[in-house]
A = this chain, B = another copy of it.
Amino acid sequence: MSDIVAPLRDVPIFADLPGATLAHIAGIGERRSVPAGTELFRQGELPKALHILLEGQVALSGAAPDGTVAVVEVVTPVDMFILAAVLTDAPFLMSARTIAPARLLLIPAAPLRALIASEAGLALRMLASLSLQYRKMVRQIKDLKLRSAAQRLGCFLLALASERGGEPKVVLPYDKQLLAARLGTSPEHLSRAFAALRAHGVEVSGMTVRISDLGALTAFSAPDEI
């Protein structure tokens, strides 16, 4: 059990929970290590466990009835996902697949819901976390409605550069097919978007992107200020 308490402390919203609550969560939790390309669950299924990603990457994607697939989000560690489905005990709106070897912590849904109902501190942390996830989705909707694919790509690259403290050279975190799906565009349109960004100082070579003028790219892409 103690080998689960330690990784739980790495999850920001759990970090300062009382030891007894953490031990309780660890007691019902289960570790899982899976290779890249593993399907963790499918859209339409009922959630069995809250997923906490400790290492690796997971793509969350939604499918239309005709089979077309859109990537809604790519989860990076440490983060939890499908909290909303677990809390409401409602069918998954998305499927999850690892895109890199991954280590996960699974917290079974029913005992977790019972624990949240009895621990006000845990409920508050879940609220805070879900609020952030909600706001992330709102940002993505604004992005999809307000920006061209080239501007969305520009914002994505600027966010990567800013995570690295304004580093002008960034490495794409996943392949271009997945990147296109995440940005809500096709691989062909993504290539055109990269070509369009050349005029704004962006050079791409394989997975490496060099941004020669952050100001020009910012002016073109118009990222959100908040």
Q: Point out residues on A near B: beta carbons under 8 Å.
A: 43-44, 62-66, 68-72, 83-85, 87-88, 90-91, 93-94, 116-120, 123-124, 126-128, 130-135, 137-142, 144-147, 181, 184, 222-226
Contacts and interface: CB of A to CB of B under 8 A. Distances in A.
Given A93-B138, A123-B123, 6 more contacts: A63-B146, A64-B147, A83-B131, A88-B132, A134-B134, A134-B137
Contacts of A72: 138, 141-142, 145
Q: Which secondary structure dominates where chain A touches chain B?
A: helix
A131 B130 CA distance: 7
Contacts of A131: 83-85, 87-88, 130
B123 A222 contact: no
What is the copy number of this chain in the assembly? 2
A145 B144 contact: yes
Contact of A116 (B127, B137, B223): B127
A46 to B, nearest CB: 10
Contacts of A184: 144-145
B130 A226 contact: no
A135 B87 CA distance: 11
User: What are the 6 closest A-B residue pairs judged by CB atoms, nearest first?
Assistant: A70-B145, A137-B137, A62-B142, A84-B131, A123-B123, A120-B120
B85 A135 contact: yes
Contacts of A132: 84, 88
Given A65-B225, A117-B120, A139 B93 contact: yes
Given A134-B137, A144-B145, A87 B117 contact: no
Nearest to A145: B70
Given A142-B72, A145-B184, A146-B70, A87 B137 contact: no
A137 B136 CA distance: 10
B134 A130 contact: yes
Contacts of A64: 142, 146-147, 222, 224
